[in-house]
Amino acid sequence: MTAVTQPAFESVGSPLAQFVSDGWIATRRNLIKIKRVPEILVFTILQPIMFVLLFSQVYAGAMNVPDYVNFLMAGIFAQTVIFGSTFSGAAMAQDLKDGIIDRFRTLPMSPAAVLIGRTNGDLVINSISMLIMMGTGWVVGWRVTTSFWGFLGGVGVLLLFSYSFSWVMALLGMSVRSPEVINNASFMILFPLTFISNAFVPIHNTNPEFPEPTAWTLQNPIVTVIIGIVVMLVIFVPLAVRKFASVSSR
């Protein structure tokens, strides 16, 4: 080893340029992770294919729903991107456990950057999943019945919804601090919820006695989702950033 004596290095760039750069560096870290951790790719690519095929080929006959594939795909899209968003929870808990958050917090970077990078990582995972699902869906007979812009809007709403949910999960990950607990809890909560919901089976099929719901939220699903997105972002982005600025490994 050779000793290299040098003066201290200076930081460069305006505050805004530094903020953008921090967010990009943190995002790049998560993109490299997607590339190098095979489990993430399996989850991202194989699981959506599996779900689409299972439901469209195996259960479709038992569902008694005309054009089941088109009914099913909306539910599978939502389920998959929501599960994709749980990565942020487990990843933040793991980073905290490994002490990497401590390293980041001793650097003069923006306190939001690590979270921006993490949630962007989820967004990329979810975008890949969406493409895979659309391809698989198309093969089994799913077709876009609305206009092109309506289709894009739908994809946008789904991704935005999952993106805002990533922030909720990121805050939970930093609070619970155990990647295993986060993984198990999200599975235990989200999995039954998606099956109880009308994602896979119309409500009157599961229980004919159940009156067709007339709540405002079901009459106006898109507005409801957008309200949900805004509420999640407005509440959980500041909470998560504040949490990040004070959290440290134990």
Partner 1 sequence: MTIIQAEGLKKTYTSKSGPVHALAGLNLSVPQGTVKALLGPNGAGKTTAVKVLTTLIRPDEGTAHIDGIDVLRNPKAARRIIGASGQYAAVDENLTGFENLEMVGRLYHLGARTARKRAQELIEQFELTEAGNRPVKGFSGGMRRRIDLAGALVINPKILFLDEPTTGLDPRSRLALWEIITQLVNDGTTLLLTTQYLEEADHLSDDIAVIDGGKVIAEGTSDQLKAQIGGHRVVVTLVNEADAGAAREILARHGDGTPAVNDRTVEVSVVEGPRALQYVLSDLGEAGIELHDAGMRRPTLDDVFLKLTGHKAEDETSTDSTEMETAK
Which residues sit at the interface with partner 1, rule CB under 8 A?
Answer: 1-13, 18, 21-22, 25, 28-29, 32-33, 36-37, 98-100, 102-109, 113, 246, 248-249
Identify the burial level of 68 via C-beta atoms within 10 angstroms of its C-beta, where 0-12 means exposed, 13-18 middle and 19 or more buried. Answer: buried
Q: Which is nearer to partner 1, 7 or 61 (CB)?
A: 7
Q: Which is nearer to partner 1, 29 or 177 (CB)?
A: 29
Q: Which is nearer to partner 1, 130 or 241 (CB)?
A: 241
Strand, coil or helix: 9: coil
Q: What are the φ and ψ backbone dihedral angles of 141, each rounded to 5 degrees?
A: 110, 5
Question: Taking the complex as a whole, how short is the minimal distance between the CB of residue 69 and partner 1, in angstroms?
Answer: 37
Please work out, in degrees rounded to the nearest 5, the angle formed at the alpha carbon of residue 60 by the alpha carbons of 56 and 61.
140
Question: Taking the complex as a whole, how short is the minimal distance between the CB of residue 123 and partner 1, in angstroms?
Answer: 18
Q: Which is nearer to partner 1, 111 or 228 (CB)?
A: 111
Question: Taking the complex as a whole, how short is the minimal distance between the CB of residue 37 and partner 1, in angstroms?
Answer: 6
**Taking the chain, what is the end-to-end CA distance rounded to the nearest angstrom?**
33
35: which residues sit within 8 A by CB, 6+ positions away? none
Question: Taking the complex as a whole, how short is the minimal distance between the CB of residue 225 and partner 1, in angstroms?
Answer: 33
